[in-house]
Amino acid sequence: MKWYTWLIAFLAAWFAFFNPATAQTVQYVTSTEIGGIPTVGMTTTFTTGRTIFVDSNKGTSGGDGSTPAAAVDTLAHALLLATANKGDVILLMPDHAETIVAATTISTEGITIKSLGVGDNRAQFTFGTSTAAGFAISADNVRLEGLIFKNDIDSQAAVVTTSNAYTQIVDCDFFEGSGKQYLIGVSLANAAANYCTIDNCRFVSITAGAASAIKIAAAVDRCTIKNCYIKGDWSDAGIYNPTGNIATHLDINNNYVENLQAGSHAIKLVSACTGTIRNNTLMTDGGANVDPGACNMNGVFVPGLGYKCVKTEDVSTATADDLFTVTGKVLITCWTGEVTNALGAAVTDYKLRVKTSNRDLCATSNIASAAIGFMFQMNGDAGDDLLNTATATETCDTNGKGMANRFVGKSGSSLTLQSSRTAGDSGDAIVHSLWYIPLEAGAEVVAAP
């Protein structure tokens, strides 16, 4: 060992002795030399707490977890060494593997469980002996990162269940075994599981038998599901919420969700959940893409049409109703309206327009007394009305003039699209569905407030 290595060790010990609180800020793992230059290896996660190493290949039940060389052999052992709310981090070494035979309860608040490694040499947990064996999070502020979960027993009840707030499940994989499916990948199982985040995870269960990748099973608040890849034969839906569990302020964004089961949803929120479903790519086998509950549907991506926005118009309001706000420049590919409460006889002068410039998007249209289910579609001719040759419920056409395909907006500013008409009767309503493609960075269309 070179003389300066001893000097560094001495200075580090001296600093730690006289500054114990500060010395905990970064944990040093090893001291080595590369090319004759002394180096100090650090953990990949900075913490003021303890770092506990776990390695099924080289760890032992007698280890203290303080370094890779002194690693413990199981996650359960590491959990016994962790202290609540100190920022403790459990690091799973590359190629760590465990078979879970009973429920693993994570009850230490404020800890992170993270796998080192890349791809399939990240830590893997296999469930193969009990359908009740899963990860049960029963403490606030727990983070799981980079773990691989593999199901090897049929009808695994749930891989990860959280009942507490601020759970973070990040960059984890949930895979089926050979013809063996988990019923639920992640379950938000208790109303106390607020502010949870599921980010950049992958859920794959191709063979029939799975119920849902993510189940919002309680009336949680302000939970986020984003950047996830979800593909499987889901009997309920890829993302599912059962009746009687009204989640609030949900944010479901930028996910790919595909349901291979014929006639079933990609996302199905049976309860009247609130929040936003936006910028998702949804695929089904003949089923409706999404049942949004009461969520705002801005930004659902439909291949060939673009992002989708939905706004319900109160036709009983006087003269006009703001429908959509456009930021930047967009191409409106399709715009349809569907009457959901029969209209009064006074709505004889209906049209769509740009509010800020009073520029009409269609000619005046007589939709008086339109029945429930009556549909219209804006076509490619701004001088044409919204009536169509079908003039019937449950269908509409473009009068042979093509889809809307309207360029709308202005760089660096926003405008409002609105309806203009004589007020109808109380309760009269039209649901507007608009699809668009952004033409510049930051361009978007959202439902007007």
Q: How many CB atoms lie within 10 A of CB 24?
A: 15
Q: Are residues 141 and 235 in the same domain?
A: yes
Q: What is the mean pLDDT of each run of 10 residues along the chain (449 residues)?
A: 54 52 38 34 63 96 94 96 96 96 95 96 93 95 97 91 98 90 95 97 94 97 97 96 94 94 93 87 84 77 84 85 92 92 90 92 91 89 76 75 89 93 90 92 84
User: How high is the pLDDT of residue 9?
Assistant: 55
Q: Are residues 293 and 178 in the same domain?
A: yes
* DSSP annotation of 11: H
Q: Are residues 199 and 232 in the same domain?
A: yes
Please state the separation of Cα 242 from the chain's center in Å. 17
Enclosing domain of residue 24: 3-41
Q: Are residues 16 and 92 in the same domain?
A: no
Among 303, 326, 356, give the residue marking a domain's end. 303
**Residue 221 structure tokens:** 């608040």
Q: Are residues 206 and 241 in the same domain?
A: yes
Pairing of strands 265-269, 237-241: parallel
Q: What's the domain count of the chain?
A: 3
Q: Are residues 265 and 347 in the same domain?
A: no
CA distances (Å), 30 to each of 33, 40, 207, 217, 257, in order?
10, 6, 46, 45, 43
Residue ranges of E strands in 372-428: 375-377, 406-420
Amino acid letter, 422: T
CA distances (Å), 309 to each of 33, 296, 406, 433, in order?
58, 8, 16, 6
Among 277, 303, 329, give the residue marking a domain's end. 303
Side-chain-side CA neighbours of 434 within 13 Å: the count stands at 30
Q: Are residues 384 and 432 in the same domain?
A: yes
Q: Are residues 50 and 125 in the same domain?
A: yes
Domain harbouring 290, CATH code: 2.160.20
Element (H, E) at 92: strand 89-92
CA distance 227 to 415: 29
User: How high is the pLDDT of residue 198?
Assistant: 98
CA distances (Å), 148 to each of 22, 152, 265, 277, in order?
35, 13, 26, 27
User: How high is the pLDDT of residue 67?
Assistant: 95
DSSP 271-307: S---EEEES-EEEEESS-SEE-TT-B-TTEEETTTEE
Q: Are residues 109 and 241 in the same domain?
A: yes
CA distances (Å), 422 to each of 16, 315, 339, in order?
78, 8, 16
Q: Are residues 339 and 274 in the same domain?
A: no
Global pTM?
0.67
Q: Are residues 112 and 169 in the same domain?
A: yes
User: How high is the pLDDT of residue 81?
Assistant: 96
Question: CB–CB of 305/335 below 8 Å?
Answer: no
CA distance 281 to 59: 43
Q: Are residues 145 and 236 in the same domain?
A: yes
